[in-house]
Amino acid sequence: MLQRRRRPTDRQSDSRQRRNALHLKEKLSRRQARIGVIGLGYVGLPLAVEFAKDGFDVTGFDVDGTKVAEINAGRSYILDVKTADVAACVTAGRLRATTDMSKLGEMDAVDICVPTPLRKTKDPDMSYVVSAAEEIAKYIHPGMLIVLESTTYPGTTAEVLQPMFEARGLTVGEGFYLAFSPERVDPANEKFNTRNTPKVVGGTTPACSEVAAALYSAAVDTVVPVSSTQVAEMVKLLENTFRAVNIGLVNEIALMCHRMNIDVWEVIDAAKTKPFGFMPFYPGPGLGGHCIPIDPFYLSWKAKQSGFECRFIELAGHVNGSMPEYVVERISEALNTCRKAINGSRIHLFGIAYKKDVSDMRESPALDILQLLHRRGAELSYTDPYVPSLKEGAVCLRSVAEDEVSGVDCAVIATDHKAFNYANMPGRFPLVMDTRNALKGNAAKNIFRL
């Protein structure tokens, strides 16, 4: 079979791609590239600080003027990012923040780290990503690298972002570079952080992958290249769907064990002694955070566009979503032992954040529990050292210091912050509903568990 002879323009294009990619890679290796990060939350700020610590000139972009002011003053508002690190980078002139998107035109590389929530219909809300891309498109220039980190459905980078940028007259892989690299932030994780968590990178073209890998190699210990943006997008959805499905399974096991009068926590502890073929997951009051409750629905939504029904994933979502109601039923059972109803009872929640030792309340199951208890007439209060106040629907409360909590009919451990004095709880409160097994080993009869 005769092979098509490559036209001179093919060779010229390849030569330009190699030359342009090499130029940007050299700027990255010499720390001469200017890096922009759009979205300065749990993902964007740690990333910006890592790049700045490694010697890059970094500009953070955010629509929230309060965040911008805090960073420019050298202060961190993210628990996993030390104020000392932010201050050092700002003082050295390597980190600044702005709400002025026109500064994007000065950047050599831009990371998009904006939220990707769900609409009430469980469809992806891409408005933040689209808004960020629209701003970049205004100021895109030859040789710019753009990386999307926001969790999204497979195909977003190629189907949404690429046409927006190419409409400005540049060709992907030659005039500009486009890639996807899923964020893997785990707030309050003391072992893994931005630098030592492997970074998956998938480019729209091989040149895009090469340049994006060069960017992250400067600030991350291990870079894992994959063949396309679609593969990289799917990686993040698989990771969090894996967790959501397994948590759904163990939540259902917890419901089953309660019916059979079996201690699910003892079952899990025994099962995890098996050195192979088993990975422990733990039941809880529901799923929270910006990833695990959201990402499986992104995958399910995209699958439906292809005519595929994700029954297994959606069933896990149903089980996890029903856990707050189950917790409220268990609280009702606990109060019944004292001949009390939820209506009129004083119920105090320990922990409002979605996981321990963070301040993030996004999708927190504790908020659902509060709403359900409020509708049933409970008198509510809470303690959370990371959440000083909250307003959720008709519930508006301020955190009460732990040693000032009194007159409570039932205490509910909704989030197991390390700061709480768990040993004193069974003696201080007539009833304790422990949704996290924080009182493990305590056999007091006034403790109720999932």
- Residue ranges of the chain whose pLDDT lies below 70: 1-18
Contact call for residues 60 and 97 (beta carbons, < 8 A): yes
For the stretch 330-336, contacts whose Cβ atoms lie closer than 8 Å and that sit 24 or more positions apart, written own/partner, are 330/433, 330/448, 330/450, 331/373, 331/410, 331/412, 331/433, 331/448, 333/448, 334/410, 334/431, 334/433, 334/448, 335/409, 335/410, 335/431
> Strand 95-98 vs strand 389-392: parallel, antiparallel, or unpaired?
unpaired
Task: Supply the pLDDT for residue 5.
Answer: 47
The Cα–Cα gap between 228 and 180 comes to 8
Q: Name, in order, each residue with C-beta under 8 angstroms of 188's C-beta and a sequence gap of 6 or more.
A: 79, 80, 355, 356, 357, 358
Q: For residue 111, give the H/E element and its range.
A: strand 109-112
Q: Name, in order, each residue with C-beta under 8 angstroms of 174's C-beta and a sequence gap of 6 or more.
A: 13, 16, 17, 20, 207
Q: Judge whether 8-227 and 245-449 match in fold.
A: yes
Count CB-CB contacts under 10 A for residue 90: 19
pLDDT digits (tens, 9 = 90+) for 396-446: 999 999 999 999 999 999 999 999 999 999 999 999 999 999 999 999 999
The Cα–Cα gap between 243 and 263 comes to 22
Count CB-CB contacts under 10 A for residue 136: 25
SS3 at position 119: coil
pTM above 0.95, yes or no: no
Residues with a catalytic annotation lie at 291
Of 76, 31, 84, nearest to 57 (Cα)?
A: 31
Query: Domain 8-227, what fold?
Result: Rossmann fold (3.40.50)
pLDDT digits (tens, 9 = 90+) for 6-26: 444 555 556 666 677 888 999
Q: Name, in order, each residue with C-beta under 8 angstroms of 247's C-beta and a sequence gap of 6 or more.
A: 281, 282, 283, 284, 287, 292, 316, 320
Could you state, in order of their start, the residue ranges of all structural domains in the chain? 8-227, 245-449
Q: For 245-449, give the CATH class.
A: alpha beta
The Cα–Cα gap between 334 and 342 comes to 10
**What is the per-residue DSSP string for 350-399?**
E--SSSTT----TT-HHHHHHHHHHHTT-EEEEE-TT--EEEETTEEEEP
Task: Supply the pLDDT for residue 79.
Answer: 87
